[in-house]
Amino acid sequence: MKYGFSQRVRYMKSSAVRDILKVVNQGDVISFAGGLPDESLFPVEAVRQAFDKAITSGNKALQYGETEGVMELREKLSERMANKNIHRSPEDILVTSGSQQAIDLFSRIMFNPGDIILTENPTYLAALQVFDSYEARIIPVDADEDGMIEEDLEEKIIRFKPKCIYVVPTYSNPGGKVWSLERRKKLLKLAQKYHVVIFEDDPYGDIQFDQEDSPPSIASMDNNKFVMYTSTFSKTVVPAMRIGWIVGPHQIIRLMAQAKQATDLHTNSISQHALVHLLNDFNLDQHIQMIRQTYYERMLVMKGILDSVKNDQLSYMVPKGGMFFWVSMPSDVNTTELLKKAVDKGVAFVPGAPFYVSNPQENTMRLNFTNATPDLIKEGMERLVSVINENQYETIV
């Protein structure tokens, strides 16, 4: 039967990461592909007790709730953000089904077909999927390891008149970079000068390896007029709870809440109530510190093996936090083709091309170091290094 789908489905794309995971999960493959936290580190007992309390404290957790989110949770979120100098009232917080929904709801109320979004290149793949699905036009801005370059950013703001500038300035996905304080200030200054909304996506900000080396969020420098800030508990508690949140100007949050009413009414109540109990009874900050230390040690294991690759054209930036290495191979290497050989050897990664808005660098790859033990990282990386070295030999021959 021929179905009458909307024209918008033409702009929907499958996630390269999800497609790879379907393949690698079927066999004996060590995967560095997914951006997954390690389930062995989940605070399972604390989560169980939190859900028990949510259920036994009355039936409120099982009832419909406010679209904006459980007020007690929004108050807790306001307190936690205040610790990062992001001072927002609970009324300006919208609880979402993961931070991915925050990106979608914002896009739904902001973008008409053809509206311009400025981003780095490469940037978060799933955000690009959302923007494409709303038929926005995505324009890359020149950037280096410190963030967007001011001159190119201003030129493109003037030229394209964007609706939004989307950034992941802290331990970015896929690049793992941290914007300098100077670049953050310049971005905010330009947004204020030209009245452009900044969407600051911060899922990894708590996973910092050096607590003395963490620039403030862009939202902490804003007067709540220009910056939307979203984050999530998926990386620090458990992904399955699907609890994220977004803060920003009241008018935008109000319209996003209305869009959410038409989407799912509200984020599931029982997880929200359980999270309130978890934040009351469990030392989440201590747990986050344990996660940081564990992931830092795993990052060093992966770094050590990357350093053993016999190729002076392989390069990467040492992550200061987050979950990923972003690796550049010699220019004649196509990592999409390399992935096929790697899977045959029992290891997987994500080719870099899908993360690009334009001019994809086919010789790049993203490696996740959080979802494998040091022993598995060693084994998987040794497999990957053998594939890289074999590919280098074939290229020379």
Q: For the segment 112-165, what is each residue's pLDDT rounded down to a tens digit?
A: 999 999 999 999 999 999 999 999 999 999 999 999 999 999 999 999 999 999
Please tell me the distance from the alpha carbon of residue 216 to that of residue 357, in angstroms, as a whole number: 27
Answer whether the bond into residue 319 is a cis peptide, omega within 30°.
Answer: no
Structural domains in the chain (count): 2
Question: CB atoms < 10 A from the CB of 60, how many?
Answer: 12
| pLDDT, position 4 | 73
Name the DSSP letter for residue 141: -
Task: Report whether 327 contacts 365 (CB < 8 A).
Answer: yes
Share of the chain above pLDDT 70, in %: 93
Q: Are residues 179 and 230 in the same domain?
A: yes
368 and 272 in one domain? no
Does one domain contain both 186 and 138?
A: yes
Mean pLDDT, residues 81-101: 96
Token digits for 335? 């990592």
pTM: 0.94
- Residue 273 and residue 235 in one domain: yes
Residue 106 belongs to domain spanning: 44-281
Residue 114 has a pLDDT of: 97
Judge whether residue 319 has pLDDT over 50: yes
Same domain, 245 and 371: no
**292: in domain:** yes
Query: Among 223, 256, 281, which residue terminates a domain?
Result: 281
Residue 363 forms part of a structural domain? yes
pLDDT band at residue 83 under the 50/70/90 scheme: very high
Yes or no: say if 192 and 182 are a contact pair by the CB < 8 Å rule. Answer: no
Whichever domain contains 302, its CATH number is 3.90.1150.10
Q: According to the model, what pLDDT value does residue 1 have?
A: 79
Residue 211 included in any domain: yes
202-259 pLDDT per residue, tens: 999 999 998 777 789 999 999 889 999 999 999 999 999 999 999 999 999 999 999 9
Q: Would 375 be classed as within a structural domain?
A: yes
User: Which region among 115-124, 149-158, 292-301, 306-315 has the lowest average model confidence (pLDDT)?
Assistant: 306-315
Phi, psi of 70 (to 5 degrees): -60, 130
Indicate whether 277 and 224 sit together in one domain: yes
Assess whether pLDDT exceeds 90 at residue 309.
no
Which residues lie below 8 Å from residue 189, measured CB to CB, with a gap of 6+? Answer: none
Is 321 part of any domain?
Answer: yes
Question: Burial of 14 by CB count in 10 Å (0-12 exposed, 13-18 middle, 19+ buried)?
Answer: exposed
Closest CA to 242 of 70, 99, 129: 99
Residue from 306, 224, 265, 214 nearest 97 by CA: 265
Do 13 and 101 sit in the same domain of this protein?
Answer: no
Same domain assignment for residues 154 and 295: no
Q: Compute how many other C-beta atoms are within 10 angstroms of the C-beta atom of residue 216.
A: 14
Confidence band, pLDDT 50/70/90 cuts, at residue 10: low
**Domain closes at, from 281, 304, 319:** 281
Mean of the per-residue pLDDT values of the chain:
92
Statement to judge: residues 258 and 326 lie in one domain: no
In terms of domains, do 179 and 117 share one? yes
Q: Are residues 327 and 263 in the same domain?
A: no
Does residue 1 lie in a domain region? no
**CATH classification at residue 196:** 3.40.640.10
Predicted confidence at residue 21, as pLDDT, reads 63
pLDDT band at 11 (very low <50, low <70, confident <90, very high): low
Among 249, 281, 313, the domain-final residue is: 281
Task: Using the predicted structure, report yes or no on whether residue 79 has a pLDDT greater than 70.
Answer: yes
The predicted pLDDT at position 23 comes to 60
Token readout for 230 is 């979203």
Is residue 2 in a domain?
Answer: no
Does residue 130 share a domain with residue 257? yes
- As a 3-state breakdown, the chain gives helix, strand, coil percent values, each rounded to 5, of 45, 15, 40
The more confident residue out of 359 and 5 is 359
Low-confidence winner among 58-72, 105-119, 307-321, 354-368 (lowest mean pLDDT)? 307-321
Q: Is residue 98 part of a domain?
A: yes
Averaged over 373-397, what is the pLDDT?
A: 82
